[in-house]
Chains A and B, each alone.
Chain A
Amino acid sequence: SYVLAQPPSVSVAPGQTASITCGGINIETKSVHWYQQKPGQAPELVVYDDSDRPSGIPERFSGSSSGTTVTLTISGAQVEDEADYYCYSAADNNQNWVFGGGTKLTVL
């Protein structure tokens, strides 16, 4: 089955830039979306279609794609950005979808 690989954890100091990667076979041909999940809450979409930002999401959240890796970047990370982040994409022909394993972002 299709696998999206993420680092288990990323740490960043407040105000610095955090980068979370997501890799998968032929990922450069897919649209990748990113979710943020804080404890006790439902996930929230922060980036869709690799690099677009939903209304209401701060500009510090951005996405990019290069080769076989897609990256979520949080520029000037805030303490409130501490959360789990998941990439999400179609596995094959939009018949199945899959989440990455998730990355715990620590801001301290």
Chain B
Amino acid sequence: EVQLVQSGAEVKKPGESLKISCKGSGYSFTSYWIGWVRQMPGKGLEWMGIIYPGDSDTRYSPSFQGQVTISADKSISTAYLQWSSLKASDTAMYYCAVNALGVDVWGQGTTVTVSS
């Protein structure tokens, strides 16, 4: 069974750094693009970017380019989304997603709260 399991909820202060994770299982992690999606409170879905863990080829939405970094560690089948300096406006739910073996699978989401 294809599964994505994300790291737990985070509460951070503005200016702090953060790295959240998304661990894949049940498929060849290096063979499928994994994407990240933001959902701000009460708002719609926003595509942030994708990474191909096989060679770490990464694409970013213009809206998120330079604001976040997407990476992957294929040795542990885990993708990451990180911020170097969080802002209050980064408060949101973040999902990872993959379409592997003909199945579209999403992680359970990671809530990030940034507040002073």
Residues in chain A within 8 A of chain B (CB atoms):
1, 35, 37, 42-45, 48, 54, 84, 86, 88, 95-102
Contacts and interface: CB of A to CB of B under 8 A. Distances in A.
B29 interface: no
B45 A37 contact: yes
A43 B45 contact: yes
Given A1-B63, A42-B95, A43-B95, A99 B47 contact: yes
A5 to B, nearest CB: 12
B62 A99 contact: no
Contacts of A101: 44
A95 B104 contact: no
B44 to A, nearest CB: 4
B108 interface: yes
Nearest to B49: A96
Contacts of A99: 37, 44-47
Nearest to B63: A1
Given A88-B45, A101-B44, 17 more contacts: A35-B45, A42-B106, A42-B108, A42-B109, A43-B45, A43-B95, A43-B97, A54-B104, A88-B47, A95-B59, A96-B59, A96-B61, A97-B35, A97-B47, A97-B61, A98-B61, A102-B45
Contacts of A45: 104
B107 A42 contact: yes
B79 interface: no
Interface string B17-55: 000000000000000000101000000111100100000
B106 A43 contact: yes
Nearest to A103: B44
Contacts of B44: 84, 86, 99-102
